[in-house]
Structure formats: C-alpha cells, structure tokens
Chain A
C-alpha cells in the first residue's frame, strides 16, 4: 500500500471548475484503477487502464476523464459536467500477473464549495 500515493488528501471544488486528482505508484504495476465511494456505500469503478496510453470506461465514467502517459501515473480529472462530485476517490493498482492483487492508495476526499 505504501507504494501508491494520492494527492491532495482533501480537495475543494467550486461550481464550474475542473479539478485533477493525482495518483502515483512505484510498484511497477501495469493496471491502475479509479473508484468513487459515497458515504456508507461501496466502490464504483470510474476508469481503469492496463497499459500506457490506453484506458477503459468503468460503470460511472460520465463527468470524469483520465490519462495514462506514464506507467506510474494515472490522474483523474473531475469535470464541471460531474454535477455531484462530492465523494471519497480511491486509486488502486495491480499487476497483470494472475498471482497478484489490487492495492489501494489513501484516497482523496472531494468536497464542493
């Protein structure tokens, strides 16, 4: 878990503003994932990526965008089109190997002003 970092820990968004959440890993994992967690709820998949310059939409991709320019980094942008962005955002990474699991970063809590 220590190999995955997210920043910032808290983020405040104003109306109409795009904000970007950072996720970095030094575990040499191929796959990276973004999840959204609402209070008292489970984890819902936003976007995921297996290799550089390629990513797939998850179940709730609308209003979000991602990029994967480097293996270590998978930033998530919450656009103004996401009308209800207040949530806890978790980044995870995992190996393509069948032997390894998925590990989570510490999360970013996004609040709307």
Chain B
C-alpha cells in the first residue's frame, strides 16, 4: 500500500541554526504535500504545503521543496527559535479507488530547539 517515510524521528538544533526534515512517498499519483506542526496535546496545524506542479515554496522562515522524480519532499526551517519546538508531520495526498482524497502521514519528527 501507499507509504510515507519521514526522517529523522528526532532532531535537536541550536537556536538560530537550520532544521531539515525529509519525507519520501510511494504513490506516484500523489499531488499535494502538506506539513503540519503539532504541539503537545494539541491538534496538528498546517504550516506550509506544496502542490505537485511546484518545486519549491517559501513562507518567511519555512520552505518546502519537492522532487517528483525521486518522490522526495523536505521541510526547511531557518533561524530556528524555541517556539519551533514541536512534532512535525509530513503527508501525501492521493485519490483512492472511489475517487476520494486520502492522506498518508509520515511518522513525525520531534524537533527540539535548544536555547
């Protein structure tokens, strides 16, 4: 079945440094790739997304890149701050056999930004 692999599972960086989280998906028909940030006990919140017809998207300190050929996409956070500490999930969206959008999530990356 479809699968999304996410690495690393934990990541510690010094405040001000950059953080990179990588995901690989298996379904070549996937056309949309959101990234969510989840703080402890809270709901996942969308932070950035990218569609399959775009190679890169940036929003202030956050950027996402997509390599459709390799089926890789990555989240880049620059100038990290303590409030960036959370669990980050990638996801890939595709259509199932009934024509319904279905999301496959990565297993998450726990990011710790050390002050």
Q: Report A's interface with B, CB cutoff 8 A.
A: 1, 31, 33, 35, 41-45, 48-50, 54, 56, 58-59, 90, 94, 96, 98, 101-107
Contacts and interface: CB of A to CB of B under 8 A. Distances in A.
The 9 closest A-B pairs by CB, nearest first: A50-B100, A104-B43, A42-B107, A43-B105, A42-B108, A42-B105, A104-B44, A106-B43, A101-B34
A43 B89 contact: yes
A98 B31 contact: yes
B46 A107 contact: no
A1 B47 CA distance: 13
B89 A42 contact: yes
Question: Looking at chain B, what size class is its interface with the partner chain?
Answer: 20 to 34
Nearest to A59: B1
A101 B32 CA distance: 9
A25 B46 CA distance: 17
A103 B102 CA distance: 13
B100 A31 contact: yes
Contacts of A50: 98-101
A3 B27 CA distance: 30
Nearest to B52: A98
Contacts of A56: 96, 98, 100
Given A90-B43, A106-B43, A48 B34 contact: no
21 contacts: A1-B43, A1-B45, A31-B101, A41-B107, A41-B108, A42-B89, A42-B107, A43-B44, A43-B89, A48-B100, A48-B102, A49-B100, A56-B98, A90-B44, A98-B31, A98-B51, A102-B34, A103-B46, A104-B43, A106-B42, A107-B42
Contacts of B46: 101-103
A42 B43 contact: no
Contact of B101 (A43, A96, A107): A96
Contacts of A45: 102-104
